[in-house]
With several copies, the nearest count.
Chain A
Amino acid sequence: MREIRYYEALIEAMAEEMRLDDDVFLMGEDIGLFGGTFRATEGLMAEFGSRRVRDTPIAEAGIVGLAMGAALAGLRPVPELMTMNFAIVAMDQIINHVAKMHYMFGGQFQVPLTIRAPGGGGTQKGAQHSHSIESWFVNAPGIRVVIPSTPYDAKGLLKTSIRCNDPVLFIEHEMLYSSVGPVPEGEYLIPLGEADVKRPGSDVTIVAWSKMVLEALRAAEILAGEGIEAEVLDPRTLDPLDWNAIMTSVARTRRCVVAEEGWRNVGVGAEIAARLQEQLFHELDAPVLRVGAANVPLPYSKDLEQAALPHAEDIVQAVLKITT
């Protein structure tokens, strides 16, 4: 199968949906003429013009709010926010408006909106550009949270998100944009709420998403060397979250480590650990351990930043703690 980059998969997904449906349009900062800070909209203005690929002022709350209004009127906007940290600027529009309108109006209006934004650190962008805050959006009901780790998942899930009649926060990762993976020619969709086993294993389950899937796979390699077969489970979407797949896998392996790039303290991993011990209290052979970012804003200095972020080695350590 052909291999393409993560950002190219995103471009294909958007282009295909835009060709199929004139209601789909893009808006965001420097997504048009400039082609997108991370090239994720490259070439789209050339094909679709400035009506459907709209460069905006720097006003995140406005971007989300305008997209929200257009969605209420039945269009399918796909706004891009340059980073998840800037999504915080639009937090009120996303949480108090986008995620609540359908409910508080008793289902009268739908909000078919897909907000794209990359999270993640690792490139020394410091404390105001690099954080992973998916946990807040999973905590608050009313918005789907999609967070693919491979080009294949990125394309299939973005197409599904754009067709979804509910708001979706589609979280990308700065370090994944240039990653390469197999993506079939032509159209396919991946349903929300279906986890994917990125590597099968029998001794321990590693639940990881976004860039941490790559770290988990590296960890699994290392662990295989130690004779430990780790299963790497990628939920791919955090709302809905495929509890069934997680419970089934851990019921089998009886051990679990959750790896996320966000702050570990009150992260999504905490919810997974909490539910595992609720539902598999007697099946678990060891505590569920969590790997995540250190409880600090991300520092600029390379070594410090790396020390703050979770890596394969941390996952290995956690697995060894509960398997030996």
Chain B
Amino acid sequence: MITATAKLRMYRQMLLIRRLEERVAEMYGEQAIGGFTHLYIGQEAVATGAISALNHDDYVIGTYRDHGHFLAREGDPKKFMAELFGRETGICHGKGGSMHLADMENYFFGGTGIVGGSMPIAAGLGLACSYREDDRIVMSFFGDGATNQGVWHEALNFAKIWNLPVIFVCENNFYGIGTDVRLSSSLTEVYKKASGYGMPGYRVNGMDVLEVRKLCDDVVKHVRAGSGPALIEARCYRYQGHSMTDPGRYRARAEEDLWRKRDPIPRLARTLLEEGIASEERLQELDAEIEEICDAAVEFAQESPMPSPSALYDHVFSERYPSDPHA
């Protein structure tokens, strides 16, 4: 049973991701943000629903498309925007940028740019949980394209043979950059790949945050109880291009329109109204609140200093030696 407060919180969360990313797009246009920037717009229900089923000290790891997960993990919008601006006050002091957000305080391990690369690391986080017998679990987010990468296979096999508490969440948005999943994957129903590892596989509508949450509440319970790893396929759609530079000619207009009708945010808004959880006014207030948060984030980023040149050699190692460069 998902409480009214929980629903309202999820709505706010999705809206925050959406609005903040709209600002990111705007700022990218103004060249305040550079590099590769991958928007999550359209997929907000997945990170929001899934992560809301976790405890604060569970481990989460994702990919370069990490804005939504960082924010769903309650990452600070100011440090988020400052990072994308490459400022000293960014969550990674400007070293990571959009693709490499990470947040130690919220147990978010990033933010990795190598497709599939985070998979064995996720299993390793699970290994730590099982090694210490704490009752933490791990949630690992990745795309449909990542499931064809070798380390994906290794990670699922490891997780299963060692019975690690890891939930693998595949955000199947049907494309890896411009490549249709049907061209890249021998099983296009990704959740069925779990059968290759004797692992339970589930499919959920990734455009419905409540369904995502319901399934994850269940799976989290089992995995935390020691039932071993599980694979979830959340079918969803990214509304923008793969990255800011993608014209996105490879998708049919009709397909895009169809999925836009399934926008998870208005959908939940309708539910909130129908169930009397929130009034039109309350939702408008929320809009306003979030606008303020976005303004504040952008302002904070703009006013923050660039990293000092001396920061270049910081963090290569945590322990220095005389012969290190500029030690």
Contact = CB atoms under 8 A, between A and B. Distances in A.
Interface of A: 25, 29-30, 33-34, 37, 51, 54-59, 61-62, 64-75, 77, 85-86, 89, 92-93, 96-97, 101-110, 123-129, 141-142, 144, 164-166, 192-193, 240-244, 294-297, 299-304, 307-308
B113 A129 contact: yes
Interface in B98-117: 98-100, 102-104, 109-117
Nearest to A36: B178
Given A55-B179, A97-B117, A299-B94, A142 B148 contact: no
Interface of B: 34-36, 59, 61, 86-87, 90-100, 102-104, 109-117, 119-129, 131-132, 145-146, 148-151, 154-155, 157-158, 161-162, 176-179, 183-185, 250, 306-307, 309, 311-319, 321-325
Contact of A96 (B34, B36, B117, B128): B117
A92 B184 contact: no
A169 to B, nearest CB: 13
Contacts of B319: 164-166
User: Considering residues A37, A51, A295, A301, which has the most beta carbons from chain B within 10 angstroms of its beta carbon?
Assistant: A301
A300 B313 contact: no
Residue of A67, A69, A297 contacting most chain B CB atoms (<10 Å)? A69
Contacts of B325: 294-296
A68 B117 CA distance: 11
B113 A300 contact: no
A34 B178 CA distance: 6
Contact of A102 (B116, B179, B318): B318
A93 B120 CA distance: 9
18 contacts: A34-B177, A58-B184, A65-B120, A65-B121, A65-B154, A69-B121, A93-B120, A97-B114, A105-B96, A105-B110, A106-B91, A106-B95, A108-B102, A124-B34, A127-B95, A301-B306, A302-B86, A304-B309
A303 B307 contact: yes
Contact of B114 (A54, A59, A71, A86): A86
B131 A97 contact: no
Given A57-B185, A128-B99, A299-B94, A96 B250 contact: no
Given A58-B184, A104-B110, A300-B35, 8 more contacts: A72-B109, A77-B124, A89-B149, A106-B102, A126-B96, A126-B100, A128-B100, A192-B321
Contact of B94 (A55, A77, A92, A106): A106
A62 B94 contact: no
Contact of A241 (B90, B123, B323): B323
B312 A57 contact: no
A92 B116 CA distance: 11
A166 B318 CA distance: 6
A142 B317 CA distance: 6
Contacts of B97: 124, 126, 300-301
B226 to A, nearest CB: 15
Interface centre among A33, A71, A104, A128 (most CB of B within 10 A): A104
Q: Residue among B95, B126, B177 with the most chain A CB within 10 A?
A: B95
A193 B177 contact: no
B61 to A, nearest CB: 8
Nearest to B107: A73
A127 B100 contact: yes
Nearest to A25: B131
A34 to B, nearest CB: 3
B179 A29 contact: yes
Contacts of A33: 178-179, 250
Given A244-B322, A301-B94, A302-B34, A107 B315 contact: yes
A16 B318 CA distance: 24
B250 A34 contact: yes
Contacts of A244: 322-323
Nearest to B119: A65
Contacts of A67: 124
Given A69-B128, A75-B128, A301-B97, A125 B119 contact: no
Contact of A66 (B59, B86, B158, B176): B158
A66 B265 CA distance: 36
B68 to A, nearest CB: 18
A34 B251 CA distance: 10
A69 B185 CA distance: 21
A75 B119 CA distance: 18
Given A57-B145, A62-B154, A104-B96, A124 B86 contact: yes
Contacts of A297: 316
Given A70-B127, A109-B102, A302-B34, A59 B149 contact: yes
A129 to B, nearest CB: 6
Contact of A300 (B100, B117, B128): B100
A106 B92 contact: yes
A68 B124 contact: yes
B185 to A, nearest CB: 7
A181 B169 CA distance: 47
Nearest to A298: B95
Most buried by A among B86, B103, B122, B146: B86
Contacts of B59: 73
A304 B307 CA distance: 7
A243 B323 contact: yes
